[in-house]
Amino acid sequence: MSLERLSLGTIRCVREVLASRSVTVAAERIGISQSAVSQQVARFEKLSGIPIIARNGTKMTVCSDEIARLIFAMMEPVETMRCISLGKEMGKLRLGLCDYLAARHCSNISRYMDLDKEFEIRIGRPSGVAGMFNDGELDIVMRPLFHHEGEVDLMVDVPLVWVASHAFGPRLGDGRSAPIPVVLEATLSPYSYYAERSLREAQIPYKVAGRADDNLVRMHLVSAGLGCTTVPKFALDTLPAHAIRAVAGITGKSCIRFGMFYNKKKVQFKKACRIFEAISEYMV
């Protein structure tokens, strides 16, 4: 172990590679060559004895999430001191928004721009922004909670509604109807979990007609009549009304929990409450 021989420049290179999952992007952010970045990563791994990244063809994966979080945490005070020494203002807080919530804010672009003035906004699927927060790439994140997660301090229940094309009209209630076709996400998703649970609890037969993680693709499948799907009620205004409508009568009331997570070292609870209230105002 020769950790004392590691420079801040080496650690910064490693941090940028972990953040972008790309040597090319890391080199562009730092302003050095790709070979220099690769050399610094190799130097870190040699001196520390800790593998950082693994390559499988063109795909790059992080070897240890715990080490990644430590490196991000190490660089935070360094970046703060650099801003102070250069007389610069501290950077914006990094805010992660899940896909439907971001679409809701973008439906009124001035509302989105108000957020953009205060935060560096990053948008992704629930699992994506959750991972970014856990890796230290976000200071605040607002997303739906997975079914296995407990309650958090800042949380709101949001109704889920079923949507389908205007031509969609399944027969329900007699127990002999054909299973309802549904379109779900391809990977672990709070939306899909609660959609399937509500159908099972209502004892409504269904079949999965398609899976797609991309919301735009999923809505194209729904508008084409492949099946129905669920969205948070606040997202209805973001859907094309000429192609997709809310469907009544499939299940009773079903809700999904949205929660805010924040870095308590950078954001005080009072400020987190203010941010939560500003964002959740457009969710109910």
Quick one: 253 exposed, middle or buried, by C-beta within 10 A (0-12, 13-18, 19+)? exposed
Across the range 39-59, mean pLDDT stands at 85
Q: Would you state the pLDDT for residue 174?
A: 46
In this structure, the answer to whether residues 159 and 69 fall within a common structural domain is no
pLDDT of 4 higher than 80: no
pLDDT of 154 higher than 90: yes
In this structure, the answer to whether residues 230 and 254 fall within a common structural domain is yes
Q: Find the CATH number of the domain harbouring 21.
A: 1.10.10.10
pLDDT of 183 higher than 90: yes
DSSP code at position 178? P
In this structure, the answer to whether residues 235 and 184 fall within a common structural domain is yes
Chosen domain end from 59, 85, 111: 85
Assign 266 a pLDDT band (cuts: 50, 70, 90): confident
Chosen domain end from 85, 111, 133: 85
Across the range 36-53, mean pLDDT stands at 88
Strands (E), 125-211: 140-144, 154-165, 180-184, 206-211
What is the chain's mean pLDDT, rounded? 84
**Helix residue spans in the chain (DSSP H):** 8-20, 23-30, 34-48, 65-85, 99-106, 109-118, 126-134, 190-201, 215-223, 269-280
* Strand pairing class (154-165; 255-262): antiparallel
Chosen domain end from 85, 120, 143: 85
Beta bridge partners of 164: 245
Q: Find the CATH number of the domain harbouring 156.
A: 3.40.190.290
Across the range 26-41, mean pLDDT stands at 87
Amino acid at 22: S
In this structure, the answer to whether residues 81 and 96 fall within a common structural domain is no
Beta bridge partners of 140: 95, 262
Across the range 204-233, mean pLDDT stands at 90
| DSSP annotation string for 47-92 | HH----EEEETTEEEES-HHHHHHHHHHHHHHHHHHHHHTTPPPPP
pLDDT of 201 higher than 60: yes
Between 22 and 155, the higher pLDDT residue? 155
Assign 284 a pLDDT band (cuts: 50, 70, 90): low
In this structure, the answer to whether residues 57 and 10 fall within a common structural domain is yes
In this structure, the answer to whether residues 106 and 203 fall within a common structural domain is yes
Q: Please name which of 221, 282, 284, 216 lies closest in space to residue 256, comparing C-alpha atoms.
A: 284
In this structure, the answer to whether residues 139 and 159 fall within a common structural domain is yes
CB-CB contact of 160 with 233 (8 Å): yes
Quick one: 2 exposed, middle or buried, by C-beta within 10 A (0-12, 13-18, 19+)? exposed
In this structure, the answer to whether residues 36 and 166 fall within a common structural domain is no
Domain that holds residue 218: 92-284
Q: What domain count does the chain have?
A: 2
3-state secondary structure of 97: strand
In this structure, the answer to whether residues 28 and 97 fall within a common structural domain is no
In this structure, the answer to whether residues 77 and 122 fall within a common structural domain is no
Q: Would you state the pLDDT for residue 259?
A: 93
Q: What is the pTM of this model?
A: 0.67
Q: Would you state the pLDDT for residue 153?
A: 87
In this structure, the answer to whether residues 112 and 251 fall within a common structural domain is yes
pLDDT of 172 higher than 70: no
In this structure, the answer to whether residues 18 and 106 fall within a common structural domain is no
